[in-house]
Homo-oligomer: A and B are copies of this chain.
Amino acid sequence: MSPRERAAELLTKAVWLQGHGPEMAEALLAHGRIVNLPAGAWAQSEGDEQTGITLVVEGAVQMMCAAPGGREVLFGQAGPGVALGQTLRFGGGPRLVTLICVEESVLLVVPDHALTRIAAEQPALWQAVAALVYLQLRGALMMAAEALALPPRQRLASRLEVMARTGGPALRMNQQALAEMVGLSRKTVNFYLLGFQQAGLLTLGYGEIEVRDTAGLRRIAES
């Protein structure tokens, strides 16, 4: 299957496009651009296309976010089907999220001006964009709440459960990256991961974590 066909399939299944008919997905495909990127590449780095909607079609990207003090905080990893919406129009300031490919990836990029053009014919596009941003808001808020209120072990379990649920049970990331995502040291993450493995909740590999029992992880997160 070609990347474009794959993107079309992902768009038809996207929650934020439900109820808008196939013509909107087609418009996004028509006005968007398929981008191939090698591992380690920065997405969204060229010219005015820094913002708009980005859909991960194949591969995986890490999501980084700027924090005070010039810190770049790794806060998540996204696989095929995940879309990100961002724009410079509202509120100004620099780009919110930076994407970095952790492996060879294919993205569908629909820049701001393309969105404007689509909206000229399909005003409902903004409703879909609002839905997309709202989904991201939900995720970000949950993450913030977890980071503020959950103790380390529960926090780790919760994030593993979320990532396994949204991106499949096989998580391809090393423990250093995972540690950054939950705000802990690698040592601590390793310690708890070994415990989870002992309990049969997951299997550890080299640069990989296979989640085997999401319900069990959720139970820990809620404890």
Contact = CB atoms under 8 A, between A and B. Distances in A.
Interface string A44-73: 000000000000000000000111111101
Interface in A119-162: 119, 123-124, 126-127, 129-131, 133-138, 140-150, 154, 158
A99 interface: no
B183 A149 contact: yes
Contact of A68 (B65, B68, B221): B221
Chain A's interface: helix, strand, loop or mixed, by majority? helix
Size class of the contact patch on chain A: 35 or more
Contacts of A133: 130, 133-134, 137
B135 A15 contact: no
Each complex incorporates copies of this chain amounting to 2
A183 B147 contact: yes
A68 B130 CA distance: 26
Given A124-B126, A131-B89, A140-B137, A181 B67 contact: no
A87 interface: yes
A89 B127 CA distance: 11
Contacts of A89: 131
Contacts of A136: 137
A67 B149 contact: yes
A65 B137 CA distance: 12
A95 B10 CA distance: 27
Given A91-B138, A130-B129, A137-B136, A218 B148 contact: no
A21 interface: no
Contacts of A158: 68
A155 B97 CA distance: 20
A180 to B, nearest CB: 7
Contacts of A137: 96, 133, 136-137, 140
A133 B138 CA distance: 10
